[in-house]
A and B are shown apart, each in its own frame.
Chain A
Protein backbone atom coordinates (compact mmCIF):
# COMPACT_ATOMS: atom_id res chain seq x y z
CA UNK A 1 0.00 0.00 0.00
CA UNK A 2 1.08 3.54 -0.76
CA UNK A 3 2.87 5.36 2.01
CA UNK A 4 2.18 9.08 2.36
CA UNK A 5 3.75 10.86 5.28
CA UNK A 6 2.73 14.33 6.39
CA UNK A 7 4.51 16.61 8.80
CA UNK A 8 3.91 18.15 11.18
CA UNK A 9 0.81 16.35 12.44
CA UNK A 10 -0.30 19.38 14.39
CA UNK A 11 0.62 23.03 14.02
CA UNK A 12 -0.43 26.20 15.79
CA UNK A 13 0.48 29.59 14.40
CA UNK A 14 -0.67 33.18 14.69
CA UNK A 15 -2.41 35.36 12.14
CA UNK A 16 0.15 36.57 9.62
CA UNK A 17 2.51 33.73 10.38
CA UNK A 18 4.42 31.67 7.85
CA UNK A 19 3.64 27.93 7.69
CA UNK A 20 4.95 25.08 5.56
CA UNK A 21 3.21 21.73 5.47
CA UNK A 22 5.24 18.83 4.13
CA UNK A 23 4.26 15.66 2.35
CA UNK A 24 6.40 12.76 1.18
CA UNK A 25 5.31 9.67 -0.71
CA UNK A 26 7.54 6.67 -1.23
CA UNK A 27 5.80 4.91 -4.11
CA UNK A 28 6.97 7.01 -7.04
CA UNK A 29 3.41 8.12 -7.78
CA UNK A 30 3.11 10.81 -10.40
CA UNK A 31 0.21 12.68 -8.86
CA UNK A 32 0.17 14.48 -5.52
CA UNK A 33 -2.60 16.57 -4.01
CA UNK A 34 -3.37 18.93 -1.18
CA UNK A 35 -6.92 18.97 0.19
CA UNK A 36 -8.43 20.72 3.16
CA UNK A 37 -11.27 19.20 5.15
CA UNK A 38 -13.82 21.35 6.94
CA UNK A 39 -17.16 20.45 8.46
CA UNK A 40 -19.92 21.17 5.98
CA UNK A 41 -17.51 21.49 3.07
CA UNK A 42 -16.05 18.03 2.74
CA UNK A 43 -12.68 17.75 1.03
CA UNK A 44 -11.69 20.70 -1.11
CA UNK A 45 -8.81 20.63 -3.56
CA UNK A 46 -6.18 23.32 -3.01
CA UNK A 47 -3.32 22.46 -5.40
CA UNK A 48 -2.03 19.39 -7.16
CA UNK A 49 0.87 18.22 -9.26
CA UNK A 50 1.56 15.51 -11.77
CA UNK A 51 5.32 15.54 -11.55
CA UNK A 52 8.36 17.29 -10.15
CA UNK A 53 8.22 20.97 -10.98
CA UNK A 54 4.60 20.80 -12.13
CA UNK A 55 1.83 22.68 -10.31
CA UNK A 56 -1.89 22.86 -10.94
CA UNK A 57 -4.43 25.10 -9.28
CA UNK A 58 -7.32 23.46 -7.48
CA UNK A 59 -10.69 24.80 -6.40
CA UNK A 60 -9.66 26.82 -3.32
CA UNK A 61 -6.12 28.09 -4.03
CA UNK A 62 -6.34 31.59 -2.53
CA UNK A 63 -3.79 32.14 0.22
CA UNK A 64 -1.85 28.99 -0.61
CA UNK A 65 1.27 28.25 -2.61
CA UNK A 66 2.59 24.81 -3.39
CA UNK A 67 5.86 23.41 -4.60
CA UNK A 68 6.76 19.96 -5.89
CA UNK A 69 10.52 19.72 -5.47
CA UNK A 70 10.94 16.03 -6.31
CA UNK A 71 8.80 13.08 -7.31
CA UNK A 72 8.44 12.31 -3.59
CA UNK A 73 8.01 15.71 -1.96
CA UNK A 74 5.11 18.17 -2.14
CA UNK A 75 4.88 21.25 0.09
CA UNK A 76 2.03 23.57 0.92
CA UNK A 77 2.96 27.12 1.92
CA UNK A 78 0.85 29.61 3.81
CA UNK A 79 2.81 32.86 3.75
CA UNK A 80 0.35 35.05 5.66
CA UNK A 81 -1.81 32.64 7.60
CA UNK A 82 -5.34 33.69 8.45
CA UNK A 83 -7.90 32.19 10.87
CA UNK A 84 -9.96 31.05 7.88
CA UNK A 85 -7.15 28.64 7.06
CA UNK A 86 -7.65 26.75 10.30
CA UNK A 87 -8.42 23.29 8.99
CA UNK A 88 -7.40 19.67 8.63
CA UNK A 89 -5.06 19.32 5.65
CA UNK A 90 -4.63 16.09 3.75
CA UNK A 91 -1.96 15.23 1.25
CA UNK A 92 -2.62 12.40 -1.19
CA UNK A 93 -0.75 10.63 -3.94
CA UNK A 94 -1.90 8.62 -6.91
CA UNK A 95 -0.37 6.62 -9.71
CA UNK A 96 -3.09 7.46 -12.21
CA UNK A 97 -5.35 10.04 -10.41
CA UNK A 98 -8.15 7.49 -10.10
CA UNK A 99 -7.20 6.08 -6.69
CA UNK A 100 -5.92 8.46 -4.06
CA UNK A 101 -3.85 7.38 -1.08
CA UNK A 102 -4.13 9.87 1.74
CA UNK A 103 -1.67 10.78 4.45
CA UNK A 104 -2.70 10.96 8.10
CA UNK A 105 -3.41 14.69 7.91
CA UNK A 106 -2.08 17.87 9.50
CA UNK A 107 -4.29 19.81 11.84
CA UNK A 108 -3.54 23.52 11.56
CA UNK A 109 -4.81 26.18 13.92
CA UNK A 110 -4.35 29.85 13.11
CA UNK A 111 -4.97 32.04 16.14
Chain B
Protein backbone atom coordinates (compact mmCIF):
# COMPACT_ATOMS: atom_id res chain seq x y z
CA UNK B 1 0.00 0.00 0.00
CA UNK B 2 1.29 3.44 -0.96
CA UNK B 3 1.76 5.99 1.81
CA UNK B 4 -0.53 8.44 0.01
CA UNK B 5 -3.41 7.34 -2.21
CA UNK B 6 -5.05 9.64 -4.75
CA UNK B 7 -7.47 8.73 -7.53
CA UNK B 8 -5.83 9.89 -10.80
CA UNK B 9 -9.18 10.41 -12.55
CA UNK B 10 -9.59 11.94 -15.09
CA UNK B 11 -12.41 14.04 -13.72
CA UNK B 12 -14.57 16.06 -16.11
CA UNK B 13 -17.15 18.58 -14.86
CA UNK B 14 -19.22 21.41 -16.36
CA UNK B 15 -18.33 25.00 -15.61
CA UNK B 16 -19.83 26.15 -12.32
CA UNK B 17 -19.81 22.71 -10.70
CA UNK B 18 -18.47 21.99 -7.23
CA UNK B 19 -15.40 19.76 -7.44
CA UNK B 20 -14.22 17.48 -4.67
CA UNK B 21 -10.70 16.04 -4.76
CA UNK B 22 -9.45 13.61 -2.12
CA UNK B 23 -6.41 11.82 -0.74
CA UNK B 24 -5.99 9.20 1.94
CA UNK B 25 -2.79 8.43 3.79
CA UNK B 26 -1.40 5.90 6.22
CA UNK B 27 1.36 7.76 8.13
CA UNK B 28 -0.07 9.28 11.32
CA UNK B 29 3.08 11.40 11.72
CA UNK B 30 2.10 13.69 8.84
CA UNK B 31 1.44 17.21 10.12
CA UNK B 32 1.46 19.38 6.98
CA UNK B 33 -0.95 18.82 4.15
CA UNK B 34 -0.66 20.58 0.84
CA UNK B 35 -2.43 20.82 -2.47
CA UNK B 36 -0.40 21.68 -5.55
CA UNK B 37 -1.80 22.59 -8.96
CA UNK B 38 0.06 21.67 -12.12
CA UNK B 39 -0.88 23.07 -15.50
CA UNK B 40 0.16 21.21 -18.62
CA UNK B 41 3.90 21.52 -19.35
CA UNK B 42 4.55 23.45 -16.13
CA UNK B 43 5.95 22.61 -12.71
CA UNK B 44 3.56 22.21 -9.74
CA UNK B 45 2.67 25.31 -7.72
CA UNK B 46 1.42 25.37 -4.14
CA UNK B 47 -2.30 26.08 -4.01
CA UNK B 48 -3.13 25.59 -0.33
CA UNK B 49 -1.65 24.12 2.80
CA UNK B 50 -3.10 23.10 6.16
CA UNK B 51 -1.35 22.30 9.40
CA UNK B 52 -2.89 19.42 11.36
CA UNK B 53 -6.68 19.01 11.27
CA UNK B 54 -9.29 21.52 10.24
CA UNK B 55 -10.49 23.60 7.35
CA UNK B 56 -8.91 26.41 5.39
CA UNK B 57 -10.63 28.60 2.84
CA UNK B 58 -9.13 30.78 0.12
CA UNK B 59 -11.59 32.26 -2.33
CA UNK B 60 -13.27 29.44 -4.24
CA UNK B 61 -10.97 26.81 -2.68
CA UNK B 62 -11.43 24.98 0.63
CA UNK B 63 -8.98 22.46 2.05
CA UNK B 64 -10.09 20.02 4.75
CA UNK B 65 -8.03 17.65 6.85
CA UNK B 66 -9.46 14.86 8.98
CA UNK B 67 -6.53 13.29 10.80
CA UNK B 68 -8.71 10.78 12.63
CA UNK B 69 -9.74 9.30 9.27
CA UNK B 70 -6.41 10.06 7.56
CA UNK B 71 -8.31 11.82 4.79
CA UNK B 72 -7.84 15.19 3.12
CA UNK B 73 -10.02 17.02 0.62
CA UNK B 74 -9.89 19.99 -1.69
CA UNK B 75 -13.17 21.60 -2.75
CA UNK B 76 -13.45 23.98 -5.67
CA UNK B 77 -16.64 26.05 -5.84
CA UNK B 78 -17.97 27.62 -9.06
CA UNK B 79 -15.31 25.80 -11.07
CA UNK B 80 -13.89 27.60 -14.10
CA UNK B 81 -12.20 26.34 -17.28
CA UNK B 82 -9.00 27.93 -15.94
CA UNK B 83 -9.12 25.39 -13.08
CA UNK B 84 -8.41 22.61 -15.58
CA UNK B 85 -5.14 21.13 -14.36
CA UNK B 86 -3.71 18.24 -12.39
CA UNK B 87 -4.10 18.56 -8.62
CA UNK B 88 -1.53 16.83 -6.44
CA UNK B 89 -1.78 16.30 -2.72
CA UNK B 90 1.45 16.27 -0.72
CA UNK B 91 2.20 15.63 2.93
CA UNK B 92 5.05 16.10 5.31
CA UNK B 93 6.02 15.28 8.88
CA UNK B 94 7.54 18.75 9.08
CA UNK B 95 10.33 19.82 11.39
CA UNK B 96 13.73 18.87 9.98
CA UNK B 97 12.16 16.46 7.50
CA UNK B 98 11.99 18.45 4.27
CA UNK B 99 10.72 15.61 2.09
CA UNK B 100 7.21 15.66 0.73
CA UNK B 101 5.22 12.48 0.09
CA UNK B 102 3.10 12.91 -3.01
CA UNK B 103 -0.15 11.55 -4.33
CA UNK B 104 -0.31 10.59 -8.00
CA UNK B 105 -2.38 13.66 -8.89
CA UNK B 106 -5.94 13.97 -10.19
CA UNK B 107 -6.48 15.33 -13.69
CA UNK B 108 -9.41 17.78 -13.78
CA UNK B 109 -11.12 19.19 -16.85
CA UNK B 110 -13.74 21.94 -16.44
CA UNK B 111 -15.81 22.23 -19.59
CA UNK B 112 -17.32 25.58 -20.63
- A and B bind: no
Partner-A contacts on B (CB < 8 A): none
